[in-house]
Amino acid sequence: MADPFASDEVLFTITAENLEQYRSQLTPGQLAMFKRYPETFQMKVYPTRRSASYPDNVYDASRNNAETTTLLDGGNGINGLANGVAFPIPENGLEVIWNHMLRYRGDSMDLTLSQVIAEANGDYREITKRTIWNFFPSITDLEEGSNLLFLYKSKVLEPVRMAGEVTLVHEPIDQVEEPRRAWKYLPGQRRVRRAPNVAYDNPATSSDNLKTSDNLDMFNGAPDKYEWTLKGKQEVFIPYNSYALYDKSRSNADIIRPGHINPELARYELHRVWVVEATLKDGQRHVYGKRTFFIDEDTWQASIIDLYDNRDQIWRVGMAHAIQLNPQQ
């Protein structure tokens, strides 16, 4: 797909040697990456391009939501949302994380994509899937007050030993009231079965335990295990307009490097983000004791997540290298 900002030049590059002058605009997770990979991890910073744009009906609905949308059931569900940004003027961390989970991504998506399971040394395995998403504003036969967020189906195309595996998901909005429903078809067994425990910190499908189920799309599912605190807004260098990573002329071998992706292909820009801290509630269990989200104010995409273990040590760092799509792409 065409890069609308291909002519932009790098403003400067942040490295382990000069990061002190940018420390206030880096997340603890990014600082940890510089410490772990001082010789290879770097961030090329480009001009800020606020490229997010949406149909008029999404903006109109968002204005209405400011007066109609409310949290329900201790924050595990919402009421009054038809489309658009659920809480355009958020007052707490839960409202911000719901904006991420409910953000506009078109009426539907039909994508062929690669899922890469990478090792620290740069070795990786690749799974190619076709995925189809249908989001609730476009599903016309829903009953009033429906709890459905989206329908999802994926089919493995490669490798051959996994080809034909199908996953089907009915994703509710309030997953405390109505847990996620998922099914899998395994061609070797020639049968469909319910997929249990596709939630919380159970391992994500085909991830080699490198990702939890609720870490897909940076965060998904029920928020009930955490206390959500809105820490405010901050300017941070986040991945943005990362068209070079989606160039079809490049292979995964061009992108994957030991410890991180190829820094020559990553683009970072300075943007305002909402900072939300999720702390595990007393009596709850999860492999992540704390998560800090840095959520872009324009798209409501969680751009960076710092993931902490139960000793309050940074364990993993997630970065979403996103792009703006239009229906023709």
Query: At 280, which amino acid appears?
Result: L
Taking only the tens place, the pLDDT of each residue in 63-103 is 999 999 999 878 998 988 878 999 999 999 999 999 999 99
**b (16+ CB within 10 A) / e for 77-94:** bbeebebbbbbbebeebb
**What is the average per-residue pLDDT within 223-235?**
97
Beta bridge partners of 63: none
Rounded Cα–Cα distance for residues 162 and 194 (Å): 18
Give the model's pLDDT for residue 3: 93
CATH of domain 24-319: 2.50.20.10
Residue 205 pLDDT greater than 90, yes or no: no
Residue 28 DSSP one-character state: H
Question: How far is residue 26 CA from its own chain's centroid?
Answer: 19
Query: What SS3 string covers 213-263?
Result: HHHCCCCCCCCCCEEEEEEEEEEEEEECCCHHHHCCCCCHHHHEECCEECC
Phi and psi, residue 215, nearest 5°: -95, -10
In the chain, where the domains are located:
24-319
Rounded Cα–Cα distance for residues 51 and 299 (Å): 9
**What is the average per-residue pLDDT within 213-238?**
96
Rounded Cα–Cα distance for residues 317 and 9 (Å): 27
pTM of the predicted protein model: 0.94
Residue 104 structure tokens: 């506009």
